[in-house]
Amino acid sequence: MNNLVLTIALPLLGAFLLPVVMRLSQALGLWLGPIILGYGCWLLGNLWFSDISLPLSVAIGGFDAPYGINLYLDSLALLFAFAVQLLGLICWPYGLNQDTARRQALMLLLVAASTGLALSGDLFNLYVFYELAAVATFGLVVASSTSAAYAATFRYLILSGIGSVLTLLGIALIYSQTGTLNLAHLAQLAPELLNNRLGLTAYLLILIGIGVKAELFPVNAWVPEIYATASSRLSGFLAGLLSKLALLIILRLLVLIFDQPEAVQIVLILGILGVISGEFAAWRAKDMRRMLGFSSIGQLGIIFIALSLPDERGLLALLALSLHHLVIKTGLFMLADGWGGSLERLTGAAKRSPVGAALFTLFALSLVGVPPLPGFWAKFTLITELAAQSEPLYLIGLLVFLLATVIETSYLFRIVVKLYSSAETTSEQPEHQQLPGLSLATASLFGIALLTATVLIAPIGDGLQAVAAEAKNTELYIQTVIPATPGGQL
Amino acid sequence: MRKLTGLLFAGGLGFMLLAIASGLDFGSPPMRIGEAIQSASPQEVGAANIVTSVVLGYRGIDTLGELAILFAAASAAGLVLGRRHTTTGTQRKGGFVLFHGGALIFPFLLTIGFYIIFHGHLTPGGGFQGGVILAAAFFLPLLARPGARLHHSILSVIEAFAGASFILIGLAALGEGQAFLQPMLNQDTLGALISAGTLPLLYIAVGLKVGAELASLLSNLAQTESEQ
C-alpha cells in the first residue's frame, strides 16, 4: 500500500527532471508528463476496484501516525485523488511554445500538490501542499504573458499571501494548544482542548485562509480576473477541482476537529453571501469567462450552504453538487476557449459549431437543474435537506438558493437564445467564434460523462451515500490512523 | 472607500491578535509529540541534530514540498524574466576592491557552504542554509563584473539531478519494501561525520538544489536589471 505515495512523488520527480529531459529529447519530454499522470490514474483506478479494505493510513518515512506524516485514504480521498490525476491529464497544457518545459513542469507540480491536498492527514503538510499549489498557479497564469495576466496574478498573489499567513496563524494557534498536527490526533484532543473561543478563532483564520482557493465570499476578488486571463484549461482545473480540494480540507476540519454549532453557522452565512454576490455579478457580466467566474463563485456558495448541513444527507448533497459542478464548469470553460470575450459576439454561433452550442445548452440545463439531468438530483437533495431543518437561517439559505436558480436560468438562457438566434449583423470576426477542435473534443467528453451519469443516477447515488457515511465517521478516521493500543493514551 | 475597508480589516485583525495573545499562556507549551520525538530520535534516526531528524526524517515529505515550492517559484520567475531579451551589460565594473575581494572570498564561501551542508546532521545548519551560501559564492563575481554570465545549462542540470536524487533516495526505500523516504543505511556512531544513514545524502541534494536554483535566479535578475 506504500505505492500510494507514488501519485505525489512521481509528478514531483517528473517536474524536477522535465527541463533537462526536454533539452535532450523533445519527444521524450512531451510524453513524460502525460505518462506519469496516466500511471497515476491507473494506480488509483486499480485501488478503486481492488479488494483492499478502505479506509487505510500510509505512514511516510516509516514513522507511525502522530509522530510522522501519514496519508489517509478513504473513498472520498480516493475519489478526489483520482479526479486530480485524470483532470490533470485532460487539462494538460498540450500547446507548444518556447516555455513548454516550464509550463508542463508547473502543471506537474500543481497535480502533485493537489493529490497531496486530497490525501494528506497532517495539518501542516496540507499547508505545504496548499502553498505549492498556489505558487504553481501563479506561474501558470503568468505564462499567458499578457499585461492583464500580470495584473490579475499580482492581485491573486497578494490575496493568496494574506490567506496563507492567516492559515499559518491558525495552525500555529492549534499547535500551541494541542502540541500536535496530525488530524486524527487532533480529532481525539479537540473536544477537550479546542472546544473554546481560541479554537474557534483558529478555525476562522484557517477558514478564511483556505477559503481564498475555495472562492469563499469575502476573499474571492481574484476569481473573475484570473479566469478571464488564464488559459481555459487552467481555469477549468482551478474552478473545477482546486476549489473543491480546498473545500475538502474545510470539510475534514469541520467533521473531525471543529464540531461546533458556531463553526457551521459561519460557513452557512458566508455561503449565502457568496451565492448572492456571485449570481448577481454573473447576471451583469458582459464577458463569457468573467460570467463563468462569477457563476462559479455562486455555485461554490451553494456548496458551502450544503457544507453547513449537519447530517449525512447534507454531505451527500455536498458531494453531488461538487462533482456535478466539477464536470459542468470544466466543460463550460473548455467551450469558453473559443467563445471567450464579449457575449455579443456569440450571436448565431450555433450555426458555425452546432455541437458546441448543443453542449452549452446541455450544461446550462443541468446547471439549472432540469430533470432528468444529474443537476436536478443534486439540487433536489439539497432542497429537501434544507427544508427539513428547523433553524431559520437554513430557511434563508433555501430562499437564496431558489432565487439563485432563477437568476442562473436567466443569464444562462440569455446566452442560449443568443447562440441560436439568426445572425444578420455580426460577421466581422468569424474566426474568433470557431471552437478549437481539442477543446470541443474535451467538452464533448464532459458532456458524455454527464449523460452517462444521468442514466446511472441510482447506483451513483448509492455509491455517494456510502462515501458520505464513511467520511462523516470520525471514530473510524481516528481508529484507522491511530489504532487503539492497550495502554490507551498518547 | 477601499482604504477605509483596508484600515478596518487591519485594525480588526490587530485587535483580534492582541486579544488572542492576551489569552495565551506563554512558557508552557504542550509537548505531546515534541517530547516523544526528542527522546526517541537519537535511537530511531541517529542524527545528533534533532532538528535535522525532524526536517528530513519525521517530516521528510514537508521538506520535499518546500523544495518543490522553491522550484515552482524559480520557474515562475523564469517565465516572467526569461521573456526579456538580455544584452551584455555596459555598466562599469565593480572596482578594484570588490573585484579582488570577491575573488579572494570565493573559496572560503564554498568551503563554508559545503561544511554547513555536510554537517547538517550534527550541528545547526544544513542543506537550505548551506545552499544559500553556495549561491552567494557564485553570485559575487556577477556583482563585481556585471557583464559576466553563469552557465545556466550547467546550473539547471545540477538543479534537476539534485532534486531528482532526493526523490530517488526516497523511492529506493520504497523499492526495498519500506516506506517512502524512510531513513536507510547504517546509523553508525551518534555524532560522527558519517552517521545517520541517508540523511546527509538528502541534505547534500537539498543544498545543491537550493544553491543552483538561487544562483540562476539571482543571475536572471541581474541580467534583466543590467539591460535597463
Interval A256-275: pLDDT, tens: 888 888 888 888 999 999 99
- Buried b / exposed e along B190-202 (16+ C-beta atoms within 10 A): eeeeebbbbbbbb
- Buried b / exposed e along A204-237 (16+ C-beta atoms within 10 A): bbbbbbbbbbbbbbebbebbbbbbbbbbbbbbbb
* Residue A218 DSSP class: G
Determine whether the interchain pair B164/A13 forms a contact, defined as Cβ–Cβ distance below 8 Å: yes
CA nearest neighbour of A44 among A90, A13, A80? A80
Q: Rounded distance, CA A282 to CA A413, Å?
A: 13
At A87-137, the pLDDT tens digits run 888 888 877 777 788 888 999 999 999 999 999 989 999 999 999 999 999
Place of cell 476557449: A337
Tell whether B159 is within 8 A of chain A (Cβ).
Answer: yes
Q: Rounded distance, CA A424 to CA A372, Å?
A: 35
Contact of A350 with A420, CB cutoff 8 Å: yes
Determine whether the interchain pair A102/B78 forms a contact, defined as Cβ–Cβ distance below 8 Å: yes
Cβ-based contacts of A138 with chain B (< 8 Å): 76
C-alpha cell belonging to residue A366: 443541468
Cβ-based contacts of B57 with chain A (< 8 Å): 61, 63, 68
* pLDDT lower than 70: segments of chain B: 82-93, 146-148, 224-228
CA nearest neighbour of A105 among A33, A6, A28, A23? A33
| Distance between B100 CA and the closest CA of chain A, angstroms | 35
* pLDDT at site A313: 83
* pLDDT at site A128: 94
CA distances from A429 to A180, A181, A347 (A): 60, 56, 12
* pLDDT at site B91: 58
* pLDDT at site A129: 94
**Closest CB from B33, B60, B168 relative to A60:** B60
How much of chain A is in helix, strand and coil states, percent to nearest 5?
80, 5, 20
* pLDDT at site A22: 85
CA nearest neighbour of B164 among A54, A337, A12, A360? A12
At A191-234, the pLDDT tens digits run 888 888 888 889 999 999 999 988 888 888 888 888 888 888 88
* pLDDT at site A46: 86
* Residue A52 DSSP class: P
Amino acid at A401: F
- Buried b / exposed e along A21-44 (16+ C-beta atoms within 10 A): bbeeeeeebbebbeebbeebbebb
* pLDDT at site B92: 63
Tell whether A488 is within 8 A of chain B (Cβ).
Answer: no
* pLDDT at site A284: 87
Tell whether B33 is within 8 A of chain A (Cβ).
Answer: yes
Contact of A360 with A416, CB cutoff 8 Å: yes
Neighbours of B159 (CB within 10 A): 26
* pLDDT at site A434: 63
- Mean local confidence (pLDDT), A336-364: 79
Tell whether B154 is within 8 A of chain A (Cβ).
Answer: no
A334-348, A445-459, B77-91: which has the minimum mean pLDDT? B77-91
- Residue A161 reports pLDDT greater than 60: yes
* pLDDT at site A488: 46
Contact of B53 with A63, CB cutoff 8 Å: no
Count CA atoms closer than 13 A to A208's CA, side-chain side: 18
Q: Rounded distance, CA A2 to CA A62, Å?
A: 10
Determine whether the interchain pair A60/B180 forms a contact, defined as Cβ–Cβ distance below 8 Å: yes
Instruction: Burial-class residue A255 by CB neighbours within 10 Å (0-12, 13-18, 19+).
Output: middle
* pLDDT at site B99: 82
Q: Rounded distance, CA B209 to CA B70, Å?
A: 9
Q: Show me where the domains of chain A are located.
A: 1-120, 121-475
Residues β-bridged to residue A69 = A60
* pLDDT at site A419: 82
C-alpha cell belonging to residue B132: 544559500
* pLDDT at site A487: 46
Q: Rounded distance, CA B87 to CA B77, Å?
A: 19
Tell whether A90 is within 8 A of chain B (Cβ).
Answer: no
A348: three-class secondary structure by DSSP: coil
Tell whether B14 is within 8 A of chain A (Cβ).
Answer: no
Cβ-based contacts of B73 with chain A (< 8 Å): 135, 139
Tell whether B8 is within 8 A of chain A (Cβ).
Answer: no
Residues β-bridged to residue B29 = none
Phi and psi for B198 in degrees, rounded to 5? -85, -5
| Distance between B183 CA and the closest CA of chain A, angstroms | 7
